[in-house]
A and B are shown apart, each in its own frame.
Chain A
Amino acid sequence: AQSVTQPDIHITVSEGASLELRCNYSYGATPYLFWYVQSPGQGLQLLLKYFSGDTLVQGIKGFEAEFKRSQSSFNLRKPSVHWSDAAEYFCAVTNTGGFKTIFGAGTRLFVKA
């Protein structure tokens, strides 16, 4: 069965510092992998996605993620965090049929001045 683990419930980073949010997945084949961001009171917005090919993918707002098959990981990174990045971040995996997406429990990012 598919599953997604985000080991960090919350992370605090200073503005301007680098960020890495961890995600591990369990899936029988190569899944479609996603990161979404949710600002307070809003729906989720797609940051980036991985289907195949280059294992380093670029997304919106300066985010990138790297797919590592050997570690079953898809960690999200940003070189310099801005205060507006404070939000909830969700890693997700979709079966290759594209019909069922499972989300991790989310990581809440706090940004301090």
Chain B
Amino acid sequence: DTAVSQTPKYLVTQMGNDKSIKCEQNLGHDTMYWYKQDSKKFLKIMFSYNNKELIINETVPNRFSPKSPDKAHLNLHINSLELGDSAVYFCASTTDTGELFFGEGSRLTVL
């Protein structure tokens, strides 16, 4: 059983399109995240939800909209994709002590 699963694993799309990435965790954690990893492997936190409530929004453009229908799911929708959005997006969930459990990542390529 995959603890944190995200789909799709790969997305290739044109500039200006809209795309979504879905994430689900079966660990029973209350808090979930989206991280962006750029081409230099730098990991930057984007959003965090705790029990469906947004608690962290790290100055991400409003083209990015997270949605958490329940505490086991956190989806990411991106409007009007730009070249600079190309990256690997990781979903993660966490225990109360901050230990993160990551999905395998979704590689987004914007052409």
Contacts and interface: CB of A to CB of B under 8 A. Distances in A.
A101 B104 contact: no
B99 interface: yes
Given A43-B4, A46-B101, 13 more contacts: A42-B105, A43-B90, A43-B103, A44-B90, A44-B102, A46-B99, A92-B100, A98-B31, A99-B55, A101-B98, A101-B100, A102-B45, A103-B42
B98 A42 contact: no
Interface string B18-54: 0000000000000100000000111101001010000
A43 B50 CA distance: 21
A108 B41 CA distance: 10
Interface in B58-102: 90, 92, 94-102
Given A88-B41, A99-B31, A105-B40, A46 B100 contact: yes
A34 B92 CA distance: 15
B42 A101 contact: no
A49 B94 CA distance: 13
Given A46-B99, A105-B42, A99 B50 contact: yes
Contact of B43 (A90, A98, A108): A90
